[in-house]
A and B are shown apart, each in its own frame.
Chain A
Amino acid sequence: MSEIRESTLEGRAPKKLPNGVRVIDVDVHAHETPAALIPYCEMPWRKSLELISKAPERYLDIPFFAPQMAVWTPPFPQSGSERRQVVTSASQMRKDLDELGIDIGVIFPDNFLLLATLRDADYATALARAYNRWLVDEWLGEDNGMKGAIVAPSQNPVAAAEEIRRYAGHKHVAAIYLPSCCVEPLYGDRSYDPLYEAAQEANLPVMLHSVTAIYPVFPFNLNCFSSMFSAHIVSHGISMVANLLSLMETGVPARYPKLRIGFSEAGIAWIPWMMMRMDKEYKERRRELPFLSDLPSTYMRQMFFATQPIEEPENMKEMATIMSLFGGEKSVMFASDWPHHDFDHPNKVLQIPVSPETQRDILSGNASRFLNLKEKS
């Protein structure tokens, strides 16, 4: 009889995988505090961070930095998870990922999931640049299994393109993160063309990733709801739907045929719905989307989708069926969202009954193609 220590991952090892099968996790989160970014931020906004860093920190909700404005349900004891929900260093991340059985983790930010809510474009751009410097300097310096997604400030697509070109050659920069929470205009807008041009040229994929916030743009006008239950579903899922439609409207996947586009943190059950719905509509309204030369689903089959939050029907075979509806065997990538409140343990995704080949593709093969890891390493 022995007491158990407090780590919540200890003793929850992932299922043993066949020899040689690696796990690539396309969504893990590093905790960038205002204080951590001070030395990386240019003036005069370093002054702003010095002030902001004095305020007590909340989970994904910091005034002037990550304004979520979604703390709207009354708190009750133990309603939030009590385990550690931040990772503050590369060594801590490495240890966590080892316990989860993850070989390679692609790092996204915590607070800057809300970057697109900031309206001051110069400030948002300075923060994005500071984050990218910090990411590369403090997380991607060694061959430790960390890959990074540099953040593209949506407020300034030309500056975003500069950031992409700046880091294009970095060995461990593997993706470009497009902040999708509250982004306006949506990502199909022509103003983003420089960003996509740079991404395609740099051979770096773009990954859309949202989060919950109240904001007066579609679909974040969440004042219609009274619970995080609803808001959280809409903020992630419908944000991906809205941005996908926007990308199709201006023919981004047709105009940038080598650009790899990924969608994160919306699960995968929405994909067949959108694919079928768009194809149906397109047959009637093809003239509105003259850029496309085939059904929208044809373009969607070239896109990539992260698993988390993986849907959990009682019979996980249903997820294999859903994947078969959109060719997910070649486009679905494992993601844990570690260490966030709704992270998925790899064992859950391993419950989907698929062939060994498909399992290998979901765990690493598809991500390796998306991130172009073979050429990078």
Chain B
Amino acid sequence: MAAEYRVGRVDELPSGTHKVLQVGGREIGVFNVAGSYYALPSNCLHQNGPLCRGSVSGTIESRRESAWKPTWVREGEIIICPWHTMEFDITTGQCLAEPRRHIPTYKVTVVDSEIRVTIP
């Protein structure tokens, strides 16, 4: 059954920061990406490393649209697993190396400046 957890106040999580918490018997990460809040399970798809204990970063892409020039993109939107540096999109849970695979994302709401995460 879904449960809602209070994970802190907005002033404790400024833009560009994240924190790792233990809620409802599981480890999760709560992120503030440019004023929007996101939450992910702290489990890497690769070897179940503690994903959210890693760093938030941007990443490099090189696409036809930019004439294959390597470009630094999505600053602040990528979480990198501390075990083997596998990258995930914080906003969607998508795995960058295996784009067909995702980790779940949890619903985050802000009520009276308090951040709440709903875990199904």
Contact = CB atoms under 8 A, between A and B. Distances in A.
Interface in A299-346: 312, 341-345
Contacts of A79: 85
A2 B8 CA distance: 11
Nearest to B42: A4
A20 interface: no
Interface stretch (A5-13, A45-53, A125-133, A354-362): A5-13
Contacts of B6: 1
A8 B53 contact: yes
B47 A347 contact: yes
A80 interface: yes
B83 A1 contact: no
A88 to B, nearest CB: 19
Nearest to B20: A4
A82 interface: yes
B34 interface: no
B83 A347 contact: no
Contacts of B16: none
Contacts of A19: none
Nearest to B29: A4
B7 interface: yes
A77 B27 contact: no
A77 B58 CA distance: 8
Contact of A81 (B27, B72, B84): B84
Contacts of B58: 77
B54 A2 contact: no
List the 7 closest A-B pairs by CB distance, nearest first: A78-B57, A4-B20, A78-B55, A83-B82, A345-B47, A8-B82, A78-B80
Interface of B: 5-7, 19-23, 27, 42, 46-50, 53-55, 57-58, 60, 72, 80, 82-85
Interface of A: 1-4, 6, 8, 10-12, 76-83, 312, 341-345, 347-348
